[in-house]
Copies of this chain bind each other. A is one copy, B any other.
Amino acid sequence: MPSEAAVNRQWILKDRPKGGNFEEVLELRESAAPDAGEGQIRVRTIYLSLDPTNAVWMQYDSYLPAVPLDGPMHGLVLGVVDQSNSPKFQAGDLVSGLGRWADYFVTDGQGWAKLPDIPGLPLTAYMGPLGMTGATAYFGLLDVGRPKEGETVLVSAAAGAVGSIVGQIAKIKGCHVVGIAGGAEKCGWLTGELGFDAAVDYKASGWRKALRAACPKGVDVYFENVGGEITEAALDLLNIRGRIPFCGAISQYNATEPPPGPKNLSVLVAKRARMEGFLVLDYGPRMGEMYREMGPWIAEGKIKWKVDLDQGMENVLTSFRKLFTGGNTGKLAVRIGEEPAGG
């Protein structure tokens, strides 16, 4: 039964961004919330995930079609089912999936999942280590990178949402773990609270030398998040049969001209090494594996995580900007609406 028309705030994509001019192409507009049609559910957004790849979705067709112009921007959402005309969902269900930068939106529920019931965890855990972020780290490292005990795992953007989880999983698996991050504070967090073996500040002079010193046995798995010079430095340290799970290249998402690839890519030949791209969306059917192994680690505090939580729909764009300026530590999300009582 449709409720009385709620006000719906939405970030509308007016044009394709160029060079990161998000403020010029996105506009916050209000309208009446849509009602769920036949077979549909309406989701009320509680938490909106902000991810570097959102900038790609704005610009062009990639693994997903580009976001249509003059409609609401797309994003990963944790929300509550507010109206249901679908037999698979009930009003009140907590769900996650590909939603909108909006208070409310309707969907046929394809690709949407109900959250598992793991006691004692805050809802925000499903935005971070048990959400898409955690799955990206878990499957990228273990399924694509396949580290063995005693090997060296190097992670770029290591203080980021994905990188910080990658490093901790690698530690649990018995690897020598080195993170690359920008700034002393982030590096201190990695080697302190997170237990990385070493962290290298790529903004400090002499960082390449420091990186070499931090990886005395070379690099067996390089978890690629960034592109550019850091990738070249990692390639130079790669061991024979090294593996590079290729998660993304955040340094390049907002470039107006695509920047060149690594000059030393042919290291892959000499080292018989493998670089392999992956998308977390492909692992939807295997999320259960991740919940089973990671759930206890999270509940027991073996994996530390942070959700960098901003507040309010009106601040989404300011918050999004932080992804590209190194302003966030841990998974970035915005609280859009209240958690259900008792949730």
Contact = CB atoms under 8 A, between A and B. Distances in A.
Given A259-B263, A260-B261, A277 B282 contact: no
B263 A258 contact: yes
A274 B248 CA distance: 14
A252 B266 contact: yes
Instruction: Give the size range of A's interface with the partner.
Output: 20 to 34
B269 A247 contact: yes
A260 B258 contact: no
A261 B262 contact: yes
Contacts of A258: 263-264
Give the number of copies in the complex.
Answer: 2
Contact of A269 (B262, B264, B268, B277): B277
A173 interface: no
A45 to B, nearest CB: 26
Nearest to A63: B270
A177 B269 CA distance: 23
Contact of A275 (B248, B263, B276): B276
A69 interface: no
B265 A273 contact: no
Contact of A277 (B246, B248, B261, B271): B271
Smallest CB-CB A-B distances: 10 pairs? A261-B261, A260-B260, A268-B277, A269-B277, A258-B263, A261-B265, A274-B276, A63-B270, A261-B262, A275-B275
9 contacts: A62-B270, A247-B269, A258-B263, A261-B261, A261-B264, A268-B275, A272-B278, A274-B275, A274-B277
